[in-house]
Amino acid sequence: MSLRHTRAANYPDWYQEIITVADMAENAASPGCMVIKPWGYGIWESIRNTLDNMFAATGHENYYFPMFIPLHFFQKEADHVEGFAKEMALVTHSKLRQNDEGKLIPDGELEEPLVVRPTSETIIADAFSKWIVSYRDLPVLLNQWANVVRWEMRPRLFLRTREFLWQEGHTAHATAEEAEAETMQMLEVYRSLAEDYMAMPVLVGRKPEHEKFPGAVNTFSIEAMMQDGKALQAGTSHFLGQNFAKSANVTFCNSDGQQEYAYTTSWGVSTRLIGGLIMTHADDEGMNTPPRIAPWQVVIVPMVKNSEEKAEIMNYIGKITSALSAKTAFGEKIRVKVDARNKESVDMYWSWARKGVPLIIEVGKRDVDSGKIMMKIRNRINTKEAKQILPFDEAIAAVPALLEQVQKDMFEKAKKRLYDNIRTDIKTLDDLRKLFEAKNSFIAEGETSKPAFVLAKWSGDETATVPVLKEMGLTMRNYPVNMQDGKEGTCIFTGKPAVDNIIISRAY
């Protein structure tokens, strides 16, 4: 039951169809916004819960700040306001009134417009200026789960919508070294989320100057490769230096009795990760959800032919559910759901297969009579290994290891695609142009020649480089830390000597 659109024939429409058939989200009545449905939101909750535990383990606490931010807060930090000016949504009036024609029109103009939160550095820095007096008040380690608004002109579900969900961490420190260590610690948290939980391999590294977060000293990112070879920035961590502290007057008395500005950081990921999850793992049958992040790891579907069978089948399902719920995988209780809807069993199976549930168990009268369990493994769909029929005890015992193997297999498959499609043989600008003359399209297993990632030497000359990148529709992603050889070579853009390796690609 393949989809109408395939990755190879029409990748953009395939992506939209995945979201529809997996029932993850839909366009909202509010232009440019989305309704996140239970399966999509369940994945977000898994991401949120995973990160929340990681944040707590690294000493961070959750706070909440207002979504309305005085406009003048942004004007204090020039780079910050320039970076976000085109995306800001403003509240300019406090109420509505009816005109003579009975239409509602804005009324009660505010003395100062309020920015609807695009990010919270400014308002949190203002709070820091009140909370921090002495070096004994430092560090401040906080995180906020919130929604943000950025006025996206070309919205796309999960990837770019005008309102989306995220977390944003904000910290203040006594020294630059502490703040820089924090920046890298949280980058590692994001790498672990992406690779260990989402089975999505990433390249970790520092962003080039022209790709930094507005107002940051340095920005670091994790970059993932989608199945069409495009990059997705999956998370960022920013060392802000003293820039925001100076704009908000965040000072403290150090141990020598001297006043100085604090050093701050910020870091965040958003529901854009779900778009990345789809484009990393989904196939032409639907979504394929890694077990560690799946809202339900096992779904049990009764196959009832008549009412006489139902009680016996449901009783057997109860035993399976109890036995599986007592088992653990990845150090946690296995998440099991029974789908007892009064629908055709084939429809129930495919509704869950489309969502990408890792393991689907179908139970009919034959299974009850034989004392066996039939399991269908989602990431092996359309293969001989997709179905296993085992005796009850053997099947229950096999599930934890099976889920862990599925997680590993999904990561290794995506990792192979990533590293097989990092081109290191592109040495000149002409070579780069020729490679990217073609549009990005689905990279089938074993393919290595389509436009994807290029690892090349770069001199850092932004004046000569940025216009060329823009003209070619390419971006520089980051300097990947595990791909620096320290050897001098030739800059792909200028022909000048260069040591640093940087990733170049098209991106979402």
pLDDT of residue 332: 97
Using the 8-state DSSP alphabet, how is residue 175 labeled? S
Q: What is the DSSP string of 425-470?
A: ---SHHHHHHHTTSPP----TT---SS-EEEEE----HHHHHHHHH
Residue 78: per-residue pLDDT: 66
DSSP 291: T
Instruction: Say whether pLDDT at 17 is over 80.
Output: yes
For residues 368, 369, 370, 376, the Cα torsion angle rounded to the nearest 10 degrees is -30
Q: With bands split at pLDDT 50, 70 and 90, how would you rate the model's confidence at 25?
A: very high
Task: Check if the beta carbon of residue 118 is closer than 8 Å to that of residue 148.
Answer: yes
Say if residue 139 is preceded by a cis peptide, omega within 30 of 0: yes
Place of tokens 């990760």: 273
Interval 452-478: pLDDT, tens: 999 999 999 999 999 999 999 999 999
CATH of 298-405, one of 3.30.465.10, 3.30.450.150, 3.40.50.800, 3.30.1490.270: 3.40.50.800
Q: Provide CB contacts within 8 A for 43, sequence distance 6+.
A: 24, 274, 277, 289, 293, 294, 295
* Alpha-carbon separation of residue 282 from 151, 153, 165, 222 (angstroms): 28, 26, 22, 20
Residue 343 has pLDDT above 80, yes or no: no
- pLDDT category at 342 given cuts 50, 70, 90 is confident
The rounded mean pLDDT for the chain is 96
Q: Is the pLDDT of residue 37 over 70?
A: yes
What confidence tier does 392 reach under pLDDT thresholds 50, 70, 90? very high
* Residue 115, CA distances (Å) to 31, 72, 74, 212, 422 in order: 19, 9, 9, 22, 41
The mean pLDDT value for 139-152 works out to 97
Domain boundaries, the chain: 11-281, 298-405, 422-505
| Residue-level pLDDT at 1 | 65
Distance of CA 211 to the CA centre of its chain: 18
Query: Do residues 220 and 205 make contact, with C-beta atoms less than 8 angstroms apart?
Result: yes
Cβ proximity of 175 and 135 under 8 Å: no
Neighbours of 135 (CB within 10 A): 18
Determine how many CB atoms are found less than 10 A away from the CB of residue 399: 24
CA proximity to 39, closest of 353, 315, 332: 353
Q: What pLDDT, on a 0 to 100 scale, did the predictor assign at position 310?
A: 92
Residue 476 CA to residue 409 CA, distance in Å, equals 30
**Cα(380)–Cα(474) distance, rounded to whole angstroms?**
35
- C-alpha–C-alpha distance, residues 7 and 22, integer Å: 16
3-state secondary structure of 4: coil
**CATH of 11-281 given 3.40.50.300, 3.80.30.20, 1.20.1580.10, 3.30.930.10:** 3.30.930.10
pLDDT, tens digit, 9 for 90 and up, residues 234-270? 999 999 999 999 999 999 999 999 999 999 999 999 9
Q: What's the pLDDT at 77? A: 72
Burial group, residue 263, by CB count within 10 angstroms (0-12, 13-18, 19+): buried
CATH hierarchy code of domain 422-505? 3.30.110.30
At 344 the pLDDT is: 72
| pLDDT tens-digit series, residues 308-337 | 899 999 999 999 999 999 999 999 999 999
Beta-bridge mates of residue 164: 148
Residue 152 is classified by DSSP as -
Which has more confidence, 417 or 344?
Answer: 417
User: Looking at residues 426-440, what average pLDDT do you find?
Assistant: 97
Secondary structure element (H or E) that encloses residue 347, with its range: helix 345-355
Say how far apart CA 37 and CA 26 lie, in whole Å: 8
CB 212 within 8 A of CB 219: yes
pLDDT at position 201: 98
